[in-house]
Structure 1
Amino acid sequence: MSREILFVLEYMEKEKGIGRADMINTIANAVKTAAQKGVNSGQELKIEINERNGQMHAWALLKVVDSVSDPKTEIHVERAQAIQPGAQLGDIVELEIDPSTLGRIAAQTARQAVMQRLRQFEKERIYDDFKDQVGNIVTGTVRRRERGDLYIDLGKAEAVLRSREQVPGEEYQPDERIRCLLLGIDSTPRGPEIILSRASPRFVRRLFELEVTEIADGTVKIEAFAREPGYRTKIAVTSTDPRVDPVGACVGARGARVKTIVRELGGEKVDIIKYFSDPREMVLEAFKPAVPREIIINEVDHRILLKVATDDLAVAIGRKGQNARLTSRLIGWRLDIEEFKAAGDDPVRSAIDLLVATFGIDASSASRLVEMGINSPGAFEGVDAEDLIDAGFSADEAQTIIARVSASTAEASAAR
């Protein structure tokens, strides 16, 4: 058995990187535990393994007594003194035994312990090798798909790209190369599990950090970020150096930098804008080329109402509300968008306001006049009190309106 143990120690040390002391401790404890449960049941044992030649030694630990009642745990004082001169009652004496007497179960258990320690070491190595790479981009090879999840070979370990971390529309075949963000390492009953992502906003952020040197060295900062995987990403950037255009640095010469990122994202659109701390300026920048005609900011509820011209409405809202949602996440405010209407855009309202301003009548009466077709001062020509009464006005209301129209007409004539 010593040759087998020596082979295991050398293999584990050279091929797997597990130290001899670690494996010796694992094997010795496994043999001891198995033997104490088997043929040496009830006996306290001591197991040692020589790390140079793999030879195993075993001892039974016996208590020195003057009358032996259990030979597995006790030894007579006279015999004890022959083994260990000077042994006294109550002392523990080590009686060497042949390791082969420990039984085949102990040997099998030792082998199982070696394999278990190897699996445990592999799990620990996975964690140690990848714990410092969390948040970085890794490259691997697609191995298989199971229930919508992709399993990626990273060389030293296998990782999983969950279906929820995949980008809609992207398809990968076995043996295809893939780049992902190492999102985290989860602890599972089977050991550490490496979790990847291509849908996380941090994936795009990391791509920018790798592609744009000004972001990597801190000259350009990504201040705000919003993404809908597979469709569009919006980032807002600033520069710590007034001589550096943050947007231009991210776009690159002739768009080279952002094109590289867009290709990696499979054509996902990327909008890069300049960051402003003022939400009003931020909204104006984020909605370009659409230009809000009116911006109403509610500081208390953290909401912004945008009134946009009809021609810009589709651009501002975006496909299925995508642009509005991303902009809302980008600036951190709730956005409400509605169509802008100038005062003259509503003919009924304009007619009512005109009658009120011209004749000094109340808005309710003016509204009723507009409903019966009198929508301008000139429309009163030929209208008398009887016509208004027939339209539903009371006699007093009709007389008051006609009097005010007549007075206004007289004033206009005098002014001419």
Structure 2
Amino acid sequence: MAITSANQLELLQTAEAVAREKMIDPGLVVEAMEDSLARAAKSRYGADMDIRVTIDRKTGRAAFTRVRTVVDAEELENHHAQFTADQARPYFVAAKPGRDEFWLRGGARIAPAEVGTPEPGDEFHEVVPPVDLGRIAAQSAKQVILQRVREAERDRQYEEFKDRAGSIINGVVRREEYGNLIVDIGRGEGVLRRSDRIPRENYRPNDRIRCFIRDVRREQRGPQVFLSRTAPEFMAALFKMEVPEIYDGIIEIKAVARDPGSRAKIAVISYDGSIDPVGACVGMRGSRVQAVVNELQGEKIDIIPWNEDQATFLVNALQPAEVSKVVIDEDAQRIEVVVPDEQLSLAIGRRGQNVRLASQLTGLDIDIMTEAEESERRQAEFAERTRLFMEELDVDEFLAQLLVAEGFTSLEEVAYVDPDELLGIDGFDADTAEELQARARDKLEEANARALANARGMGMQDALIAFDGLSPQMLEALAKDGIKSLEDFATCADWELAGGWTEVNGKRVKDEGLLEPFDVSLEEAQSMVMTARVMLGWVDPAEVAAQEAGTDGAADADDLDDDAVAETGADERG
């Protein structure tokens, strides 16, 4: 197949037709044709040749050109596509602009006679006869064009949808592949995976569907638009469409939790005191929320007023169950909820659905117990503390119960509390208070001496024993874990001492700290570790001072390279 004047215009017509069909730039199709013809020409003239093809955008005429580039002698690798300045000089002098042979410098034609000598980078273009494409070459050219067109189509699809992630789109179901729906979304196709479909929801080809664009990614097989109907953001976007106050920003959706196809909870807040956020989302006779429910295949929706106070918000989130008492552990991000005995099943919900959604909505781990269970726990704690005071202070049960009832929980509280607080207990006089405090101090001193002796027996070094802030019981706990020197202590991370929480597969997992039983906070652990590093000379005290003052560029204890510190500590110990 030779490219003759009879089919030159057909190239442009074909390019425009393909571009219209694929909705891409016609210039990209013409460039693909030029590339495919150049590859076919190389198979005719030789793979080492630098053959380039240019198609005139007006006439469709294809010009085949052989290009040779001037390079330095030491860079000459391909004699068919490169030559040195000395080898190029005869061509340089003979070339005349406008003929079938011409020179380019910096992309512009040059008149060699006026410039002088060739320079590296100059290109000599020599027009060669068009090739006669055989069957194999023509097929290869076709594949090149199709590949380039597919790439251009993928780029267009990615550019069109990459900024639409997080929005709702309407589409038409085309087919089902391995449980995943392929959805026609206009200028492309989206994938609705089985896990992103609402249970018991069935679609057939040509059914209309509304989805949430969860993500748009480039992949090896092209850009992929991932859709979802189970994402919490899908429900939030639907409410935004149905409730004008949300669209205008008067009402804000603070959190959404869903059990797709079954039940959902959505927390809203109004920034206008005259507008009820729950009522606005429900609408007249429930028209607004019902529109969302219908779209989600009958999913029941609880609309909850959001509150800055976690306890109040949680009480609202657990509706319709009634809550008697809420105890929040902010450090552990856990919360204990006490409900009446008859409300337990309602608070938990069918298969734990109600408490699970409330936990997702508030971001807290929730433990639910009945009033009877809480009463049993309080009684057990009361009995344990009573037993502690009876054994350690050598007092009778009545006196020990008096101390527990007044809120005393440990020997330290009894030993170092203001005597007036003990005197405020009915039946306590000055002698009784003084005797109790003396016994408590003696017991603490015995325990401290015993713990310190155990730590020394396990090899605890004096430098760490003298470290300010570590009690004998803390030293004993550190020694049991193999931390016996100041260097060992300095290599510890703050969370190893104070404990913390780690996110694993979407669940919070507790990291037990060595000093956590002694109520050492994360900030206190950071301060002690940093002090140890300063004492060892691992950290510049000026950096610590700058950090505490909030100076820009100050070293952050959390950002220190623990591996480097550990290595330094190992070197010093060695």
Do both share a fold (TM > 0.5)?
A: yes
Deviations 1:91-147, CA, capped at 9 Å, x for gaps: 865432211357665544433322222211221222223223211111122222221
More strand by share: 1
The CA deviation at 1:26 is 2.7
Change (3 A) 1:292 1:82: closer
For the 8 Å contact 1:6–1:54, the answer to whether it is kept is: yes
Q: Secondary structure at the match of 2:131?
A: helix
Among 63, 66, 73, the residue aligned to 1:60:
66
Change (3 A) 1:82 1:273: closer
The CA deviation at 1:165 is 0.7
Instruction: Report whether the alignment pairs 1:295 with 2:326.
Output: yes
The CA deviation at 1:170 is 1.5
Task: Report what 1:389 is aligned to.
Answer: none
Distance 1:20 1:253 in 2: 53
Instruction: Report whether the alignment pairs 1:155 with 2:186.
Output: yes
Among 34, 37, 42, the residue aligned to 1:28:
34
Task: Report what 1:6 is aligned to.
Answer: 12
Among 286, 308, 311, the residue aligned to 2:317:
286
For the 8 Å contact 1:12–1:19, the answer to whether it is kept is: no
Distance 2:203 2:233 in 1: 21
For the 8 Å contact 1:262–1:270, the answer to whether it is kept is: yes
Pairs aligned (count):
347
TM-score (norm 2): 0.54
Distance 1:332 1:41 in 2: 64
Q: How does 1:240-279 map to 2 (within 5 A)?
A: 240-279=271-310
Distance 2:80 2:201 in 1: 72
Q: How does 1:10-409 map to 2 (within 5 A)?
A: 10-61=16-67, 84=96, 93-100=124-131, 107-341=138-372
Which one scores higher on RCO, CA 8 angstroms, separation ≥ 6? 1
Tell me the percent identity: 38
Q: Secondary structure at the match of 1:5?
A: helix
Change (3 A) 1:228 1:53: same
Distance 1:180 1:186 in 2: 17
Distance 1:106 1:345 in 2: 87
Change (3 A) 1:183 1:31: same
Distance 1:120 1:96 in 2: 30
Deviations 1:156-190, CA, capped at 9 Å, x for gaps: 22211101111122222222221111111122222
Change (3 A) 1:227 1:84: same
Change (3 A) 1:259 1:122: same
CA RMSD after TM alignment: 3.4
Q: Secondary structure at the match of 1:335?
A: strand
Change (3 A) 1:342 1:183: closer
For the 8 Å contact 1:126–1:192, the answer to whether it is kept is: yes
Task: Report what 1:410 is aligned to.
Answer: none
For the 8 Å contact 2:336–2:368, the answer to whether it is kept is: yes
Larger radius of gyration: 1
Change (3 A) 1:320 1:192: same
For the 8 Å contact 1:43–1:72, the answer to whether it is kept is: yes
For the 8 Å contact 2:258–2:264, the answer to whether it is kept is: yes
The CA deviation at 1:11 is 2.1
Change (3 A) 1:62 1:319: closer
Deviations 1:313-342, CA, capped at 9 Å, x for gaps: 111110111111111121222211111129
TM-score (norm 1): 0.73
Deviations 1:61-106, CA, capped at 9 Å, x for gaps: 4689xxxxx8998899889866649779978654322113576655
Q: Which deviates more from structure 2 when the two are superposed, residues 298-307 or residues 271-280?
A: 298-307
Distance 1:77 1:345 in 2: 103
Distance 2:117 2:372 in 1: 106
The CA deviation at 1:261 is 0.7
The CA deviation at 1:252 is 0.5
The CA deviation at 1:199 is 0.8
The CA deviation at 1:20 is 4.5
Deviations 1:163-221, CA, capped at 9 Å, x for gaps: 11111222222222211111111222221111110111111111111111110000001
The CA deviation at 1:31 is 2.3
Change (3 A) 1:92 1:162: closer
Distance 2:374 2:210 in 1: 55
The CA deviation at 1:288 is 2.8
For the 8 Å contact 1:39–1:103, the answer to whether it is kept is: no
Counterpart of 2:361, as a letter, is L
Distance 1:76 1:236 in 2: 77
Task: Report what 1:397 is aligned to.
Answer: none
Change (3 A) 1:188 1:76: closer
Unaligned runs of 5+ in 1: 65-69, 353-360, 364-416
Task: Report what 2:560 is aligned to.
Answer: none
Deviations 1:44-69, CA, capped at 9 Å, x for gaps: 334322111111122334689xxxxx
Q: Secondary structure at the match of 1:283?
A: helix
Unaligned runs of 5+ in 2: 71-78, 98-111, 384-395, 399-574
Distance 1:60 1:103 in 2: 20
For the 8 Å contact 1:30–1:106, the answer to whether it is kept is: no
Counterpart of 2:153, as a letter, is E
Change (3 A) 1:94 1:224: closer
Change (3 A) 1:16 1:334: closer
